[in-house]
Structure 1
């Protein structure tokens, strides 16, 4: 019995004892381990990342009565779109979207508005009366790029009677008179005569007015005056622009050059508020060429057809019109050669290719998806329009 017991115990010990793996087994194990580590690195910090595109699992709950109570006044976010409208080669390109949408975490997101161009500016609530009823003088014309965004003002709701309440545009000038030529007599630039420079400045002003301030164009009509200003020598580029107006597409959407709304949906409540400047710059490296550059922000107060709620859309255009020496470059007298347009649209539904800007009202925002893009102040004229992204962003106020 004892002998059998020891034999069984010895057999069980041999069966359960650990065995040294063979050299081949060790090589296979090491290769598998290396492959696992490589896969982990490709999925980890060393891989590509995209920021700001994911959507939260669930948007934050809205306070009760947000459409009728104080929260209704504080929960209004907007989207903004950004894009290069037309490059020097004349192609309408969707370079970017940076857009206005729901931003409930930013209290007073669309209501606050600075009424000056920096700290210390007056805080008038509209173009006539200040917050306390005192007179608020209009701002002086802009002559250089501001150093910062307009300061914030107390929250105030826009209405049909006071459509720019709570907005920096309350003290901006209105209409075509806000687009003025630089003070003093035009001078020759980079081999371009003073007369040609002045003509380019005037053409830039006229095109901005015809494409952004003509009330019929704003309400969806064909921008005939603006098109007539363009140089016929632009040929295919001009034809492409007309085609976009007839049948807009994602890649050829006229809103990146002309401000247009759907007249069946909205109506313009007041005159358009405008702020910006005209300048002249030489085209470096090429004698006989200069550009007249217009950098303007337009603020539109709109209401639904027959509705009482008022919302605002902020459109910024930076356009360049060439001035040339006719002895070196072809040009048609009395017309403008559109060299470049960059645009940014604030408080838009981010829809592409339908040929109009569709502003967002509170009812639209209730069921809108939560945007996750970069935040941007549409009134901040201290920044340029370079570096656009292909994401919907959030404006901090309208």
Structure 2
């Protein structure tokens, strides 16, 4: 079919083109029209198209054949995203709400909400030699939440962690293992006599007594007498820390400790162990409604000995007590009932006015000082 008119350009039927040129123009025009006209796909093309459509519906068409995700794949991805947000979004929303109400649950202080009066206190290194001066002053008032505020002990170790046993070596006829046993028993005595909760409540300190040598003349008799009938000159506070549970309640679970243990060869085929430790006890009144906190500081110096059992009549591994001394700070000095009696700022101190020298109970650079009989010393801080 030709869409070319039989009339040739040129007005009155006259042609300005030759017949050959006109025929070539007609052929070219007819070819271009055929090429641009829509063509019906071949039978093979129709088969391939139908097969791909069916594979899309089944979801098994190779991914590489698609330019983008199929409708089914898009739906599956959307469903997965909704499920993921359901699992993560709800708990995340709960966490955000809780933190908004209580930012202190976050570690550190990301919002800068910490109070300036509660700085974090880094622990002091263990004491390995006698201090040369008293610790510097600290600011703060003890509370139920911060019972060591305002005390150098805030940077001391907690409880038994502060009682560090040195590495054992052989001493004289005693082997390294024997010395190690003696050092471990020394720590046990300190812990059970000054940190054990039952002992602090005034109960009998059986575990502490078990470290002592029953063959040491009079020692166990004296200890049993102190516990059975406390009094002036025979007070169990000489070796054990005790509070009357009807009067005093410990604040929190921590007693602060600081000191050192050393050892050397003794004169009786023995090892002599020297222990010098301070213990700081935060307390309040036994009344559960009490919020006032004070502290009692107890310093103990012990010289203990373990002799060669092949040369002396001793119990292997048990401790003989050669010296026991103590300094009790912030406790009524005129009461001898076997308990410590801390004083509180809000209470009438009663008893005699302080008449002894002023001492710093945290000053471990000095030796234990004893006041004159009947005198009550003055504390520079507690």
Contact 2:178 2:317 in 1 (8 A): no
Task: Give the structure 1 partner of residue 326 of structure 2.
Answer: 343
Measured at CA, do residues 287 and 261 of structure 1 come closer, stay the same or move farther in structure 2, by a change above 3 Å?
closer
Of residues 130, 135, 148 in structure 2, which corresponds to 1:145?
130
Measured at CA, do residues 135 and 384 of structure 1 come closer, stay the same or move farther in structure 2, by a change above 3 Å?
same
Where relative contact order (Cα < 8 A, 6+ residues apart) is larger, the structure is: 1
Measured at CA, do residues 312 and 280 of structure 1 come closer, stay the same or move farther in structure 2, by a change above 3 Å?
same
1:135 correspondence with 2:116: no
Task: Give the structure 2 partner of residue 379 of structure 1.
Answer: 362
Task: Give the structure 2 partner of residue 314 of structure 1.
Answer: 297
Q: CA deviation at 1:135?
A: 3.0
Count of aligned positions: 265
**Greater share of helix:** 2
Distance 1:260 1:296 in 2: 16
Q: CA deviation at 1:373?
A: 0.8
Task: Give the structure 1 partner of residue 87 of structure 2.
Answer: none
Cα RMSD after superposing both structures: 1.9
Measured at CA, do residues 297 and 333 of structure 1 come closer, stay the same or move farther in structure 2, by a change above 3 Å?
same
Contact 1:349 1:359 in 2 (8 A): yes
Give me the TM-score of the superposition, normalised by structure 2.
Answer: 0.66
Contact 1:197 1:292 in 2 (8 A): no
Task: Give the structure 2 partner of residue 229 of structure 1.
Answer: 211
Of residues 139, 152, 160 in structure 2, which corresponds to 1:168?
152
1:260 correspondence with 2:245: no
Task: Give the structure 2 partner of residue 14 of structure 1.
Answer: none
Structure with bigger gyration radius: 2
1:211 correspondence with 2:193: yes
For structure 2, list consecutive stretches of 5 or more residues without a partner in the other structure: 1-113
Secondary structure at the aligned position of 1:364 is classed as coil
Contact 2:306 2:317 in 1 (8 A): no
Q: CA deviation at 1:201?
A: 1.1
Where do residues 240-255 of structure 1 align in structure 2 (5 Å cutoff)? 240-255=222-237
For structure 1, list consecutive stretches of 5 or more residues without a partner in the other structure: 1-128
Q: CA deviation at 1:370?
A: 2.3
Task: Give the structure 2 partner of residue 288 of structure 1.
Answer: 269
Contact 1:204 1:293 in 2 (8 A): no
Q: CA deviation at 1:202?
A: 1.0
Deviations 1:235-266 (A, max 9, x none): 53202211110111211100111000000001
